[in-house]
Amino acid sequence: MTSCGTIANATALWCARSRLFPPAPEAPNVEHDGLKAVLDHHDCERAVILASNLAHYSVEKAAGRLGLGASNLLRVPVDARQRLELPALRKLVAHCHKRRWRIVAIVAVAGTTDCGSIDPLAAVAEIAAGEGVHYHVDAAWGGGLLFSEKHRSKLEGIECADSITLDAHKQLHMPIGLSLVLLRDPATARAMEIEANYMLRDDSGDLGRVSMEGSRPGMALFLHAALEIFGRSGTRSWWTVVSSACRPVRPK
Ligand SMILES: Cc1ncc(COP(=O)(O)O)c(C=O)c1O
């Protein structure tokens, strides 16, 4: 759990950065020695993140905070339906290879902030898998569609993601401050684990060990309670009501 989608995205990309440069004996460690030491060691000039022009600005913030630099977030144009353009993504990936730039992650958006468009998640997954690159889906806004019988197919391909951001305080109607970052392999987060002497036991449940935040409110209880009380069918019925009241916005 994180306290917002911004931190969920940053955490996912933090994991992606650690996956790309995993700790190894005799090699510099990105957490300890910093990015420059690691890039020098791998003899590469840049480590980049690829995302569409409509990816939320929290992805740019993450690129800065993770030491990659905001200029290393490379933007992919969108098509007429405001979805990431696949040929442009393929071209950019090839360009990165040619220049020997390392790709930290390819980010697709499931519900852009500007207009709700959903990137072609399955096709982007295929490109990321073909390249062996971490695939992050920012479903902060659109992830709630998974609870809709009618609309969940719009998120086909999300199941291939290595990490997913979901804001329960958006389409799941929870109070502000309730976000999730889901990791295909939770062990990825171990790469950035830090311990302190005051943690008495190896199995002490201190989430601060593998997260950006330390102390935080127990917001998970709200989501747990809502899902317990309404269940899948209650949440589904709610979606049916909402989606029947909505109309797609068409450009004038
Ligand atoms: C697609 C998307 N990602 C991330 C965020 C950031 O979420 P938060 O405001 O919870 O930090 C937003 C917020 O609008 C968003 O729409």
The helix (H) or strand (E) run that includes residue 109 is: strand 102-109
Tracing tokens 């935080």 back to the chain, one arrives at 216
What is the model's pLDDT at position 239?
Answer: 78
Please tell me the residue having the least CA distance from ligand 1 atom 7.
5
103 bridge partner residues: 48
In ligand 1, the atom with minimum distance to the C-alpha of 179 is 10
In ligand 1, the atom with minimum distance to the C-alpha of 139 is 1
- Indicate the SS3 state at residue 60: helix
Contact between 57 and 6 (Cβ < 8 Å):
no
What is the model's pLDDT at position 173?
Answer: 86
Give residue ranges with CB within 6 A of ligand 1.
Answer: 4-6, 9, 56, 58, 109, 111, 113, 138, 140-141, 167, 179
What is the model's pLDDT at position 249?
Answer: 66
Task: Say how many C-beta atoms besides its own lie within 10 A of residue 249's C-beta.
Answer: 8
Q: Could you say which residues of the chain have pLDDT below 70? A: 200, 202, 248-252
Q: Ligand 1: distance of its center to the CA of 53 in Å?
A: 15
Q: Ligand 1: distance of its center to the CA of 165 in Å?
A: 9
Q: Ligand 1: distance of its center to the CA of 102 in Å?
A: 26
Q: Ligand 1: distance of its center to the CA of 56 in Å?
A: 7
Q: Answer yes or no: pTM beyond 0.85.
A: yes
What is the model's pLDDT at position 129?
Answer: 98
Summarize the chain as % helix, strand, coil (round to 5).
45, 15, 40
The helix (H) or strand (E) run that includes residue 182 is: strand 179-183
